[in-house]
């Protein structure tokens, strides 16, 4: 199994510190506003990594934090005239609901910065004692960047060239513009805690280092977060953690790509930020998950509604196939024993996911799997036990491995009905209306009034409903979902 390590910019064989255990930390949400789809992608990326590692037999301890003390949080709380922790508590509750709406499986530990203040103070004190940090008369504490020879090894930056990469702060007592705050002295109307340096609160970067140290230990297997955190956040984490412990912070650094909307980086300042609530109101949770996972976690995603709509069509096709398999296997005597067909599906999945959690490659196999299933379903020559076994193998293996990615967890008929209801609502139609037209058309054909029958078919087609005539009768479908723009 290989993981792309941002620290070395190369794929490396994954060797955990302890043979069957994995410790993973991912930087979570700073809860100053509504959760957006960038937060969703980060949470999904590390949920999938966790679930796959577990599928491969590892015991995983996964930590994803909440930053509940921050400049932006304090500003928002002050605007509303409430305590900063009271504000962040409400936003964390909102974030939990948002992530649950996407069926994100919780991290094992979800620490909050405010719960680790004593440990953060001890951490900062240790850095001062070792000579890597210094307090000011004002009550701030800064990390002396140039005291750590390895600074810049993650982002490949030279400290001497960094003045263009950071905001130049000229706070009183700061020795070097590139030094960063470990502890911030309290300003008027700000939340604060007592410390050896006076009233204040932690800087952003120290929070994650303290939480990772106190939940997972000095050296962890995997540390991750969004690509935008490489510098300065993760670079600063490495510096302060490794200076305190004298040990490597993480053996593997992973970073998920950013989300763009219509070619632009998503941001509130550009007015193109899409919240999780907004997206879930428009698309099924599995459709959103499928859209994100159709690309490798490290790539940037440029998303419009077209990408979600395509994912919707593809999942509709897959779920219809699963439903047809269920219908065929219903009441059949099945003695399931895993054979070559199932083994091949599982092996292909593992091969893709072992290559740096390549969900894109894993999911590309779905088209061949379901095309084969549909061919078997309509094959009149293949029947009896052979057909039952093949379809049973396909369904069981596919559902098992893709459940790891959070796909095919919905009952097929329920998923199909939800999408149909959504599109019927968009079209301004209902099932009774369609059934009545089908009956009217049936009567017209019985009366040999084929012109009327064609007119009724065409009227439905114009409204977005297609009809399929079979030996068992006429069925209908949503044209928008039925017409798939890829070769299945």
Residues 228-244: pLDDT tens digits? 999 999 999 999 999 99
- Is 50 exceeded by the pLDDT of residue 485? no
Nearest-angstrom CA–CA distance, 366 and 349: 10
The Cα-based distances of 13 to 4, 210, 236, 356, 401 in angstroms read 9, 28, 26, 10, 22
Q: Tell me what pLDDT residue 262 has.
A: 74
Residue located via tokens 């960038």: 38
Residue 384's region, left for phi above 0, alpha for psi from -120 to 50, else beta, is: left
Q: What is the average per-residue pLDDT within 200-227?
A: 97
Give, as one character, the DSSP assignment of residue 421. H
The predicted pLDDT at position 170 comes to 66
Residue partners of 121: CB distance under 8 A and separation at least 6: 183, 193, 195, 196
Q: Judge whether residue 260 has pLDDT over 50.
A: yes
181's enclosing H/E stretch is strand 180-185
Q: How far apart are CA 103 and CA 415, in angstroms?
A: 15
Q: Which of 301, 233, 238, 241 is nearest to 266 (CA)?
A: 301
pLDDT (0 to 100) of residue 487:
43
Percent composition of the chain: helix, strand, coil (DSSP 3-state, to 5): 50, 15, 30
Average pLDDT over residues 336-363: 95
| Phi, psi of 140, rounded to the nearest 5 degrees | -85, 160
Name the pairing type of β-strands 141-143 and 133-135: antiparallel
User: Any idea what DSSP says for residue 104?
Assistant: P
**What percent of the chain lies above the pLDDT cut of 70?**
96
Beta bridge partners of 10: 5
Q: HSE on the CB side for 418, CA within 13 Å? A: 18
Return the pLDDT at 266: 75
Q: Is the dihedral of CA 146, 149, 150, 152 positive or negative?
A: positive
Mean of the pLDDT values across residues 120-148?
Answer: 97
* Percent over 90 (pLDDT), the chain: 87
Angle CA(56)–CA(62)–CA(64) in degrees, nearest 5? 145
Q: Is the pLDDT of residue 471 over 90?
A: no
Lowest mean pLDDT among 149-153, 330-334, 375-379: 330-334
d(CA 234, CA 248): 13
Report pTM: 0.94
Rounded Cα distance between 440 and 446, Å, is 10
Q: Omega before 208 cis (within 30°)? A: no
Is the per-residue pLDDT at 466 higher than 90?
A: yes
Rounded distance, CA 314 to CA 258, Å? 24
Instruction: Give CA separation, 200 vs 79, 98, 398, in Å.
Output: 20, 31, 54
* Tokens standing for residue 224: 């991750």
List pLDDT tens digits, range 25-74: 999 999 999 999 999 999 999 999 999 999 999 999 999 999 999 999 99
More confident residue, 483 or 214: 214
pLDDT (mean) for 428-449: 96
Dihedral sign of CA atoms 29, 30, 34, 38 in order: negative
pLDDT, residue 357, reads 98
Task: Give the pLDDT band of residue 370 (cuts 50, 70, 90).
Answer: very high
Mean pLDDT of 420-445: 96
């Amino acid at each position: 199994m290989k993981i792309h390590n941002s620290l070395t910019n190369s794929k490396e064989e994954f060797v955990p510190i302890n043979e069957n255990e994995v410790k993973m930390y991912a930087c979570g949400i700073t809860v100053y506003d509504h959760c957006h789809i960038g937060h969703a992608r980060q949470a999904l990326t590390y949920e999938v990594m966790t679930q796959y590692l577990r599928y491969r037999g590892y015991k995983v301890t996964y930590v994803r934090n909440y930053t509940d003390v921050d400049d932006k949080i304090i500003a928002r709380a002050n605007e509303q005239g409430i305590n900063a922790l009271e504000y962040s508590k409400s936003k964390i509750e909102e974030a939990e609901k948002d992530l649950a709406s996407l069926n994100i499986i919780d991290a094992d530990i979800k620490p909050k910065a405010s719960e680790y203040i004593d440990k953060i103070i001890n951490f900062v004190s240790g850095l001062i004692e070792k000579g890597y940090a210094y307090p000011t008369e004002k009550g701030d504490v800064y990390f002396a960047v140039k005291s750590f020879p390895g600074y810049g090894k993650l982002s490949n930056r030279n400290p001497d060239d960094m003045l263009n990469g950071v905001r130049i702060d000229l706070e009183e007592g700061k020795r070097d513009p590139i030094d960063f705050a470990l502890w911030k002295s309290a300003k008027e109307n700000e939340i604060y805690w007592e410390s050896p340096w006076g009233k204040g609160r932690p800087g952003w970067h120290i929070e994650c280092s303290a939480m990772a140290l106190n939940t997972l230990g000095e050296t962890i297997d995997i540390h991750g977060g969004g690509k935008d955190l490489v510098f300065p956040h993760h670079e600063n984490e490495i510096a302060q953690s490794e200076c305190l412990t004298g040990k490597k912070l993480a053996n593997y650094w992973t970073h998920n790509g950013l989300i763009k909307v219509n070619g632009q980086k998503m941001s509130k300042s550009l007015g193109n930020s899409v919240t999780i609530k907004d997206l879930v109101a428009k698309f099924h949770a599995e459709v959103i998950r499928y859209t994100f996972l159709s690309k490798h976690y490290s790539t940037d995603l440029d998303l419009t509604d077209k990408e979600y709509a395509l994912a919707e069509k593809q999942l509709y096709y897959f779920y219809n196939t699963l439903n047809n398999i269920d219908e065929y296997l219903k009441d059949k005597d099945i003695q399931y024993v895993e054979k070559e067909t199932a083994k091949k599906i599982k092996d292909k999945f593992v091969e893709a996911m072992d290559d740096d959690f390549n969900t894109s490659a894993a999911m590309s196999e779905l088209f061949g799997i379901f095309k084969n299933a549909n061919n078997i379903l309509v094959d009149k020559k293949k029947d009896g036990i052979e057909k039952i076994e093949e379809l049973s193998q396909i369904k069981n293996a596919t559902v098992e491995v893709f459940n790891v990615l959070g796909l095919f967890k919905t009952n097929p008929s329920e998923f199909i009905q939800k999408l149909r209801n959504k599109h019927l609502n968009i079209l301004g139609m209902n099932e009774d209306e369609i059934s009545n037209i089908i009956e009217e058309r049936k009567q017209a054909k019985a009366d040999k009034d084929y012109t009327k029958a064609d007119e009724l078919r065409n009227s439905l087609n114009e409204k977005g409903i297609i009809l399929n005539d079979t030996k068992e009768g006429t069925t209908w479908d949503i044209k928008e979902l039925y017409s798939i723009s890829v070769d299945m």
